[in-house]
Structure 1
């Protein structure tokens, strides 16, 4: 399946915008729709890996920036020492250059905090909850196994309905053909009594077969209606377990956002208020329950499942 990446800076980047998938807008209890919940859990693993990579990049940038500042300071001081300046001017100039190295110290401190409170903790969370490999995600496999087990009998029921529907429609078409043939014979003055009798008998035979198939079709639909409440209950029970699994990850992400804020703002600087406001808006805008509700509205228990219903043939 090809994944289409889409960045939407002016609004929420929602699953239907970031993934090319067949699940959006369909009822959760329909065949294979549970895969949307499995994909969500799997996506959590990918997000953990992405977060770790992004924060590692940040740590490397901070490290490189500190090194560049120190190199600049050393080179600048050498040039000032060999300049024509002297006395307090040279001394003040050198001290002002050395003061710039405080930025490097600040970067080092922030980098260490990002490593300890963000990267290391996110890595531990990924290892504890997802294992060493995406293919070995035990919990996600358990969810999928449960969904498949519940849906196996339901798929048999749907197959039974479909087979009964096809048989009914075939029988009714044959009945219509027989009725048309009988009408032609009745209006044909040259038809014999034997032809008329055979045509009538064929219609009666086809009618019985059609009635039998119709009854079987209706019984299959009724059987589905009786099984539907329990099936839906079991599907939603497993779905709620995946909600809890995802909620745990989102709560950890929320802690990560706060940890990153503390790492960056551990020392006061002139950008503190701006950074504080930016982090506050980002964290205040993180609504876990809204994300869970959005999933259920578009993929889960609040979607409208298209249940099979009796379909006559005109």
Structure 2
């Protein structure tokens, strides 16, 4: 029964209100956009993995070349180069992760295309169907409801007019026939409207179960549709986790186990021993020996059939603590193949030796340079080179010095 009390309209946002189903339809429509965003998110992560892989490879290649050209040596150098293998292997793993992520993106794309069927106008077929079903389920209810709201509005307006007329009659001293007629007419109209409202409300009450059932049926369809999307998202994130969880990758421990074993091969003593043999005191040396016509090393023109005297060794010098019993002299005339030495005046490559005096102070910057103090007198062993450096001997040390820092020494 329609209430004649003062109406108290409270706006609601209920699903059962006219056109409120559009939020449900919008959710299904947004599912397509959310799928696109998910694909974009995974795609960007795949690009990050690819960039990281490429940067690891560039970094590894750069430092392999730098280490190879460096002055480092031995097992330490090998270990440094092998350490770059870790970056190469890790780069390959991240490249594989990129490929796996792109495969996940393709799976999402395939699901999206199968689930959301676009029409010629660009609207999703499934979403359009939901909207049409909601409209169909709500149409009878909306028809009765719109009539009910129309008559309700008229009733509320007539109630206000009735109050105004009653107030006017109460303030009037004389009986006003016209006001009474208008008041009676208003009361009758209100009674007619109430009868119509009660009839419409009766129709609404009878149709209400059908309306609820039809709307709920369509809503459950949208729920099932949305559930598929949510399950797909969950499975996609699980697959994404599998792609990125390197702790579950069996190749990772092997990479670092091999790297550690490679590091353990570094042997400082072995490297130092190698350096000593190649550049240190353990190097071989052609030590000077006494000149002799019987010395094979100094006389390469001796026939293979010629034999040296029994008392003279051609390959060894006496030990340092022993003195040769006989000093063998060397006579250049006995070697017919030796060319006479040219005079220093005719040799263009001969180096001149002269005494010079330092005119400026100079502090040696390298180990092969001489430190000069203004006034030092020392021996000049060679002329300046293309860069302006001369070779000299000072205090028993031979080294380089700037040519402009010394001048010829004139003794008085």
Equivalents in 1 of 2:156, 2:234: separation in Å? 56
Going from structure 1 to structure 2, the CA distance change for 1:173 and 1:89 (only over 3 Å counts) comes to: closer
Seen in structure 2, the aligned counterparts of structure 1 residues 85 and 199 have a Cα distance that, compared at 3 Å, is closer
Match in the other structure for 1:86: 73
**Match of residue 225 from structure 1:** 205
Q: Which structure shows the higher helix fraction? A: 1
Preserved CA contact (<8 Å) 1:168 1:217: no
Give the deviation of 1:214 after TM superposition: 1.6
Determine the structure 2 residue equivalent to 1:160: 147
Task: Tell me the equivalent position of 1:13.
Answer: none
- Equivalences for residues 1-314 of structure 1 within 5 A: 26-116=13-103, 118-131=104-117, 135-183=122-170, 187-188=173-174, 196=177, 200-265=180-245, 267-268=249-250, 269=252
More strand by share: 2
Alpha carbons 2:117, 2:126 under 8 Å: kept: no
> Which sections of structure 2, spanning at least 5 residues, go unmatched?
1-11, 254-412
Following TM superposition, by how much is the alpha carbon of 1:202 offset from its aligned partner in structure 2, in angstroms?
4.2
- After superposition, the Cα gap between the structure-2 partners of 1:181 and 1:65, relative to the gap in structure 1 and judged at 3 Å, is closer
- Rounded Cα–Cα distance in structure 1 between residues aligned with 2:240 and 2:182: 81
TM-score, normalised by the number of residues in structure 2: 0.54
Q: Following TM superposition, by how much is the alpha carbon of 1:207 offset from its aligned partner in structure 2, in angstroms? A: 2.3
Give, in whole Å, the separation in 2 of the partners of 1:199 and 1:127. 71
CA distance in 1, matches of 2:118, 2:152: 48
SS where residue 136 of structure 1 aligns?
A: coil
Alignment RMSD: 2.3
3-state SS of 1:85 partner:
coil
For each residue in 1:114-146, what CA deviation from the matched residue of structure 2 results, as whole angstroms up to 9, or x when unmatched? 122x11100101111113589331001100111
Is the alpha carbon distance of 1:215 and 1:122 closer, same or farther for their aligned partners in structure 2, counting shifts above 3 Å?
same
- Where relative contact order (Cα < 8 A, 6+ residues apart) is larger, the structure is 1
The normalised TM-score by structure 1 is 0.69
CA displacement, residues 80-108 of structure 1 (integer Å, 9 cap, x when unaligned)? 11111122111111111122211101101
Q: Is the Cα–Cα contact under 8 Å of residues 164 and 216 in structure 1 kept in the other structure?
A: yes
Secondary structure of 2:37's counterpart equals: helix
